[in-house]
Every structure is written in C-alpha cells, then in structure tokens.
C-alpha cells in the first residue's frame, strides 16, 4: 500500500463517507462467525461444566476421544493455528495477484463449505483436516476484507472506522459464542447456529466492488474510475465527469510511486539494521499478545471452573470498552506509550491471576483484566506495525508479524498445560513491554516511504532515552534550587 495510491483514492472520494462506512460495516460482519470458529473449542471440546457426558454432546464424547486419543484435542488446536499461519502467508500474494474481491469471495466459499462440512464427518481425523481448511480460508478471507477496508479509508478514519466495525463485530461474536453454547447442549447445534451466517457471504458478490486502490495499482484505471464515481455519488459528491481531473490524479500517483525503491522481498524486513531491530521487537510483541489472547481465550475452563460461560461472556464484554480506549489512545496519546503501559498492565494482571487461581472471583477478575489489556494492545499493534515499516516492505512486515503471532497461538495450549501457563503469558508480556519502549513514536510523523527513509526514521527516539532525559532534567533543576 503506497502513500501515492492512498492519496489518489482519498482525494477522489474523501477519507471517509457513507460509501466507506456502509462497506466497512458489511465486511466487518464476517468477524462474527470467525471468532466462533477460532475460540469456541473450550466450550465444545469437553463438558466445561463438568456435568458428565449425559448433559452435553461434546467433541470428546461424540468422537469417543478418551485415554490416549484425548491428546488429539490439543493436536486439533495446533493444526488449526498452523492453518491460520498458512493463511497469513497466502492471503497477501493471492489478493495482490487476483484482486481483493475475487480472492475474498473464493476464500469465503471454502470457508462456508468447510464449516458446514464439519457437521457431516464421523472421523476426528477428517474433522482435523476440515479444521485446517477452515483456518486457512477464514483467516485469509478476513485479512483480505480488512485490507479492502483499509484501502478505502484515509487518515485517522482507518483507525476509527476499521476498529469500530471489524473489532466491534468480533466482540459481538465473542459474546454470542458463549450464549449460544450455553443454550445449545449439542456441539453440532451450536456449530450450525454460528456457521450458518457464512452462507450469506454470497451477498458480498453484489454489494462489494473491487478495491479501487488495487485497480489503480494494476493500471485498470477505467474500472477504478467507475467505482470512484459510484463512491462519490454515495458520499454526496459530484462524479468525475472531466477526464483531465482523473488523469491528473493518476499522474500524481505515478510520479510519487516512482520515487521510492522496491525492496519488498520476503526477507526485506531483516536486511537493514534498523528494520531488523524493529522487526525483532515487533515479532516478540506479536508473539506475546497472541500467546496471551488465545491462551486466556482457549483455556477459560481452567480459570472459570464450573462456570466458563461467565468467563467467556466477560471476555467478550470487556472488548467493547477496550476498542473505545484503543481509539482514544491512538488518536490522543500516540502508539508507543500506550502500548508499553498496556503490555505491562497485561503482564501484571496475568501474573496476579496465576497466583490466585484457587480463588475464583479474584482469578477471574485478574484474567478478565488481562484480556481487556491484551485486546487494547492488539488494536494499537495493528496500526503501529503498519506505520513502522517503510512502504515497500509494509505488507511483508505486517505478514511476518502476523505469522510469528500465530506461532504464539499454536504453543498456547502446550504452555497452558504446564499448570502456571497464565504466569508465563504475563512474564512474556512484561518482557515485551520493556522491548517496545525502544520503538520510535509514529503519531503525527511523516511515515517512511522508501527503505532508506525507513532506516533513518526515528533514530534516537525511544521511550527509555526520553524518560532518562526527563529524569536528568528534573534532577538538574532540583540541584539548581
């Protein structure tokens, strides 16, 4: 995503308008079934209430996973997250080559069919195979829909509209997952109830056009202009009747896009010293956040005891204020300071939860606080990561970070089995907080457009140095007095 192509679309249709908001709301709805397919398993793997096999039809008793075969439930989670990891690697190249819309529709078709096929299998090995297909397609489809939305918005509205649609829907899906599983005691009924909405993905074929930014980048200017004019009309603007105006916009895009370099290979984020340092810090933060987010989400039974549904509902409800706090923090305080403080708060909450596991009320309180803080961090992290990378390596950098994050999700059940898994989640978050302070602030800064600019961007700007200078300044003033 280049700054030039961003400006041509923003200049043509505005940073935000009715057209962008309607599309974002519609695309964001796919977060509801996605969150179900990712986090539902603590509620359907085994009977979370401990009431016995007669009370609930779970994956364990439906597929007769007892004894040694019970370990297949953990293997299923590893396979699922490996599928999400594979989806992170494939979604970008596919959508860059074939377009955002048709890649998204193809993936959503696979997502819908693989989700419904889960209800037809009686062999758990086939179930795990479908899990991999579901993870690849759902993760990739969501990512492409997110990219489409980000490409249609400009400025601060990417944060406000993007987080306010996709992640609000995600939080809604989280709460619905707990309520549906609470009311429906057969995993197949709950699965059908939350997977059926994927059948309506066909609406996107008619309601969502191809990304105008992708069309411009691919040189399909006439098609881009048609989409732009439709957006302008919906946003209350006059269509671009004059070819000269549109051509001038495109010329500005071409001249600006030709100014940068094209170091966008898969290892570009590790070649230059500054890019490498920031990448390693971001990898650590992404790993820690994903480990903690899914570690808490997928092990709610360990925290909730006989009432994991209450914990699940609380986990979902705290995401609503978390998203609001993230938007306010990003717009007012920046990226680095909120992320560092939130990572530290997240870590301390998880460590505290680990030491009061025998007291349900306190354990749940600290765990829910940890879930609140990690949710806020994730919202900041999505924005911050894209801003720290120079334009040629931005997509590659974000993809690498997401990939490393999925590894955190894969190992979270293994760490949780250690007995003090929540404490490990907290310690990694505290370590990440210390590292994140070495990143530069990006708020109100001109973002790097070339690899060379990326290497000089923010040199000498880190939180530790700023705090040290402030402390020295205070001491100096105190001594003068």
**Over residues 126-151, mean pLDDT:** 91
| Residue 413 vs residue 469, higher pLDDT | 413
- The model's confidence at residue 343, banded by pLDDT at 50, 70 and 90, is very high
Query: 423 falls in which pLDDT band (50, 70, 90)?
Result: confident
**What are the tens digits of pLDDT across the range 45-103?**
876 655 544 578 889 889 988 877 778 888 898 899 889 888 877 887 788 888 889 99
**Predicted local confidence at residue 2, as pLDDT:** 45
Q: pLDDT at position 78, please?
A: 86
Per-residue confidence (pLDDT) for residue 3, from 0 to 100: 45
Q: How many residues does the chain have?
A: 481
Per-residue confidence band for 14, with pLDDT thresholds at 50, 70 and 90: confident
Class of domain 270-481: mainly alpha
Confidence of residue 169 (pLDDT cuts 50, 70, 90): very high
What was the pLDDT predicted at 315?
Answer: 86
For 112-179, what is the HEC assignment?
HHHHHHHHHCCCHHHHHHHHHHHHHHHHHHHHHHHHHHHHHCCCCHHHHHHHHHHHHHHHHHHHHHHH
What's the CA gap between 114 and 110, in Å, rounded?
Answer: 6
| Top-confidence residue, 475 or 370 | 370
What is the three-class DSSP state of 12?
helix
Q: What is the mean pLDDT of the chain?
A: 83
Could you tell me if 246 and 35 are in contact, meaning their C-beta atoms sit under 8 angstroms apart?
Answer: no
- Whether residue 243 is predicted with pLDDT greater than 80 in this model: the reply is no
Listed in sequence order, the residues at least 6 apart from 160 whose beta carbon sits closer than 8 Å to its beta carbon are 16, 327, 331
Question: In the prediction, which pLDDT does 7 show?
Answer: 60
Rounded CA-CA distance 353/426 in Å is 9
Please give the angle made by the CA atoms of 103, 1 and 172, to the nearest 5 degrees. 60
Q: pLDDT class for 27, splitting at 50, 70, 90?
A: very high
Residue 437, exposed/middle/buried by CB under 10 A (0-12, 13-18, 19+)? buried
pLDDT band (50, 70, 90) for residue 134: very high
Q: Write out the residue limits of the CATH 1.20.1250.20 domain(s) in the chain.
A: 1-259, 270-481
Distance CA 475, CA 93 (A): 54
pLDDT given at position 45: 82
Return the bridge partners of 57, or none: 186
The domain covering 1-259 belongs, at the CATH homologous superfamily level, to: MFS general substrate transporter like domains (1.20.1250.20)
- Is 2:391 a contact under the CB 8 Å cutoff? yes
CB atoms within 10 A of CB 123: 9
Looking at residue 295, its pLDDT comes to: 84
Which tokens sit at 420? 């003090």
Q: Distance between CA 151 and CA 60 in Å, rounded?
A: 43
DSSP 3-state assignment of 57? strand
Closest CA to 146 of 166, 131, 161, 174: 166
Q: Please, what is the Cα angle at 297 between 27 and 204, to 5 degrees? A: 10
Q: Are 155 and 9 spatial neighbours (Cβ–Cβ below 8 Å)?
A: no
pLDDT for res 244: 54
In the structure, how many helices (H) and strands (E) does the chain have? Answer: 26, 0
pLDDT of 327 above 90: no
**Given this model, what pLDDT does residue 406 score?**
84
Which distant-in-sequence residues (6+ apart) come within 8 Å of 343 by Cβ? Answer: 285, 288, 289, 373, 377, 429, 430, 432, 433, 436
pLDDT tens per residue, range 384-404: 887 888 767 777 788 788 888
Residue 242 pLDDT: 62
Q: Phi then psi for 57, rounded to 5 degrees?
A: -95, 110
Give the model's pLDDT for residue 284: 95
Q: What sections of 356-457 are H helices per DSSP?
A: 360-388, 394-416, 421-436, 451-456
Nearest in space to 87 (alpha carbons), one of 383, 431, 424, 399 = 399
When mean pLDDT is compared across 255-259, 357-361, 457-461, the lowest value belongs to 255-259
Q: At what angle do helices 3-13 and 221-234 cross, to 10 degrees?
A: 40
Angle separating helix axes 124-152 and 3-13, nearest 10 degrees: 70
Structure tokens at 361: 């009320």
Q: Is the pLDDT of residue 255 over 60?
A: no
pLDDT at 448 exceeding the cut of 90: no
SS3 186: strand
pTM value is 0.82
The residue-averaged pLDDT of 406-434 equals 84
pLDDT for position 1: 45
Please tell me the least confidently modeled range out of 76-80, 197-201, 304-308, 459-463: 304-308
Q: pLDDT band at 419, cuts 50/70/90?
A: low
Instruction: Give the up-direction half-sphere exposure of residue 115: CA atoms within 13 A in the CB hemisphere.
Output: 29
Torsion of CA 50, 51, 56, 57, to 10 degrees: 60
368-383 pLDDT, tens digit each: 899 999 999 988 998 8
């Amino acid at each position: 995503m280049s700054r030039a192509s961003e400006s041509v679309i923003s200049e043509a249709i505005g940073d935000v308008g009715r057209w962008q908001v309607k599309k974002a709301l519609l695309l964001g709805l796919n977060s509801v079934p996605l969150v179900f397919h990712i986090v539902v398993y603590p509620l359907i793997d085994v009977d979370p209430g401990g009431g016995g096999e007669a009370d609930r039809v779970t994956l364990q008793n439906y597929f007769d996973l007892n004894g040694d075969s019970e370990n297949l439930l953990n293997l299923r989670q590893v396979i699922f997250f490996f599928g999400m990891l594979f989806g992170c690697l494939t979604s970008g190249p596919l959508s860059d080559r074939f377009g955002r819309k048709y890649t998204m529709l193809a993936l959503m078709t696979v997502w819908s069919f693989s989700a419904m096929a889960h209800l037809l299998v009686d062999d758990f090995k086939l179930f795990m195979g479908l899990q991999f297909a579901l993870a690849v397609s759902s993760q990739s489809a969501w990512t492409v829909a997110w990219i489409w939305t980000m490409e249609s918005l400009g400025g601060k509205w990417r944060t406000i509209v993007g987080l306010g649609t996709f992640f609000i829907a995600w939080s809604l899906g989280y709460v619905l997952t707990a309520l549906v599983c609470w009311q429906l005691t057969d995993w197949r009924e709950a699965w059908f109830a939350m997977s059926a909405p994927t059948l309506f993905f066909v609406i996107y074929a008619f309601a969502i056009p191809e990304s105008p930014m992708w069309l411009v980048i691919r040189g399909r200017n006439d098609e881009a202009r048609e989409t732009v004019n439709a957006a302008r009309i919906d946003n209350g603007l006059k269509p671009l009747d004059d070819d000269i105006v549109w051509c001038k916009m495109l010329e500005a895009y071409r001249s600006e896009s030709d100014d940068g370099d094209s170091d966008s290979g898969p290892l570009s984020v590790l070649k230059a010293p500054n890019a490498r340092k920031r990448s390693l810090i971001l990898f650590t933060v992404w790993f820690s956040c994903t480990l903690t987010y899914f570690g808490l989400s997928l092990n709610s039974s360990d925290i909730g005891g006989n009432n994991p549904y209450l914990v699940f509902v609380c986990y979902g409800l705290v995401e609503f204020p978390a998203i609001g706090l993230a938007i306010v923090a990003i717009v007012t305080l920046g990226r680095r300071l909120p992320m560092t403080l939130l990572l530290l708060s997240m870590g301390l909450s998880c460590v505290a939860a680990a030491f009061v596991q025998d007291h349900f009320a306190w354990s749940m309180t600290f765990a829910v606080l940890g879930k609140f803080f990690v949710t806020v961090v994730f919202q900041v992290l999505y924005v911050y990561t894209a801003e720290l990378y120079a334009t040629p390596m931005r997509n590659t950098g974000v993809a690498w970070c997401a990939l490393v994050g999925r590894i955190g999700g894969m190992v979270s059940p293994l760490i949780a089995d250690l007995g003090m898994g929540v404490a490990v989640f907290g310690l990694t978050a505290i370590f990440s907080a210390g590292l994140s302070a070495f990143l530069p602030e990006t708020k109100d800064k001109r973002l790097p457009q070339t690899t060379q600019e990326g290497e000089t961007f923010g040199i000498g700007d880190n939180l530790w140095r700023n705090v040290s200078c402030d402390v020295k300044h205070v001491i100096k003033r105190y001594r003068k007095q």
